[in-house]
Copies of this chain bind each other. A is one copy, B any other.
Amino acid sequence: MAKASPVSPLAPKSYPECPDIEGVRFATAAAGIRYAGRTDVMLALFDKGTQIGGVFTTSKCPSAPVDWCRARLPGGKARALVVNSGNANAFTGKSGVASTKLTAQIAAKATGAPSTEIFLASTGVIGEPLDATKFDAVLGDLAQSAVPGGLLDAARAIMTTDTFPKIATATAEIGGVEVTINGMAKGAGMIAPDMATMLSFIFTDAPIAAAALQAMLSKSVVGSFNSITVDSDTSTSDTLLLFATGAAAKRGAPTIATAGDRRLASFKRALDGLLLDLAQQVVRDGEGCRKFVEIRVEGAASAKAAKRIGLSIANSPLVKTAIAGEDANWGRVVAAVGKAGEQADRDKLAIWFGDFRVAYKGLRDPSYDEGKVSDYMKGEKIDMLVDVGVGSGSWTVWTCDLTKEYIAINGDYRS
């Protein structure tokens, strides 16, 4: 594993108070899967009737737990979630498949839930066999000791190179009744989610059917987890699951069957905000990062084109190293726009760093003041606005800088 790193300078200053979600209980344990002296297994238990939605990596080489979850998702029901860190159970062949099956059997025995309603996720090293018998030693106790609180501890247990646990909370109302959404995420490297995300688990007491959860989730990730990148490397294990216990029905919340239901307006807004919060926390823990970068692209041929241009800038090693060097090197931004393959009018292109327009109408802004812009680049949050001058499509993406520390972390991850 990577050497213990200090907490990311971009970490939130405090953790939010997350109210308990009725129908959800957590427990964690140190099973010694890879790490010593820390928790590495997390169990979440859900009351009967809990509905689930999920999205996964688009990798053509997904992990065994991703395969497992995909196959069980159409059932729409969840009773337990077992997550381990330290080993991704990815590219482990038949032994990986057997390992997921055994894990679910152990969890079924420990919790009394059917194994078809048990969801699994693993994160860590790729290609190492995962010894599922290690779960045997801990899941029985965890099932007994699970409590409604403990979201933060649960988020800690799923960390790998993360330097801080990522949690978020939001409230919404459905039919006049307040519901709560809590979420956690992990991820610090191999972050370029594509129609999916890193590990992230969302819990709500809202009474919403699986089909509606699925539709909302698929939509909400587009502007959040699918709009971030740390290093352009899409993981084999990206998994985002949304569990709805429906407990708020007891307090009078109506049960919602479809995502088109207008009574979901508040919930959708809250979910969007919460996913974005978690996604940005993932970027704020990008390996070796020192700057949080927001890139807004406007004037593109379409929103899709704007997103592609934004990610081209966000994934450019030259742009990212320039930001690490506190250099407003907008020439590299021009190059990244140019290589994106989307329509752009070089002679109408304009670029801002913060409030400073550095390039305008195809050349350096006449009012460009390198001193002022350099001061701006010393900040921790860098906002970039790029108008590519051809249409009205816009998109925002988030990333971090690329530092020597990223190389150090990743040149030494397995040793």
Interface of A toward B, CB cutoff 8 Å: 57-62, 88, 90-96, 125-129, 189-190, 192, 194, 231-236, 315-318, 321-322, 324-325, 327, 329-332, 334-344, 346-347, 349, 359, 361-364, 402-404, 406-408, 410-415
Docked complex Cα distance between A118 and B410 (Å): 48
A325 engages B61 (CB within 8 Å): no
Docked complex Cα distance between A361 and B406 (Å): 31
Residue of B nearest to A410 (CB): B321
Q: How far is the CB of A264 from chain B (nearest CB, A)?
A: 33
Which residues of chain B are within 8 angstroms of A404 by Cβ–Cβ distance?
Answer: 404, 407-408
A359 engages B60 (CB within 8 Å): no
Residue of B nearest to A404 (CB): B404
Those 8 A-B pairs whose CB atoms lie nearest each other, nearest first: A126-B331, A325-B411, A61-B338, A93-B363, A59-B338, A234-B339, A321-B410, A93-B362
Count of chain copies: 2
B338 engages A62 (CB within 8 Å): yes
Known: A126-B334, A233-B318, A234-B335. A93 touches B411 (CB 8 A): no
Docked complex Cα distance between A62 and B345 (Å): 10
Which residues of chain B are within 8 angstroms of A234 by Cβ–Cβ distance?
Answer: 335, 338-339
Among the listed B315, B327, B363, B408, which residue makes an inter-chain contact with A232, where contact means beta carbons less than 8 Å apart?
A: B315
Q: How far is the CB of A151 from chain B (nearest CB, A)?
A: 29
Which residues of chain B are within 8 angstroms of A231 by Cβ–Cβ distance?
Answer: 317-318
B190 engages A335 (CB within 8 Å): yes
Which residues of chain B are within 8 angstroms of A57 by Cβ–Cβ distance?
Answer: 338
B347 engages A317 (CB within 8 Å): no
Among the listed B317, B331, B408, which residue makes an inter-chain contact with A125, where contact means beta carbons less than 8 Å apart?
A: B331
Q: How far is the CB of A185 from chain B (nearest CB, A)?
A: 19
Which residues of chain B are within 8 angstroms of A331 by Cβ–Cβ distance?
Answer: 88, 90-91, 125-128
A60 engages B341 (CB within 8 Å): yes
Docked complex Cα distance between A92 and B364 (Å): 7
Q: How far is the CB of A283 from chain B (nearest CB, A)?
A: 15
Among the listed B128, B334, B339, B413, which residue makes an inter-chain contact with A127, where contact means beta carbons less than 8 Å apart?
A: B334
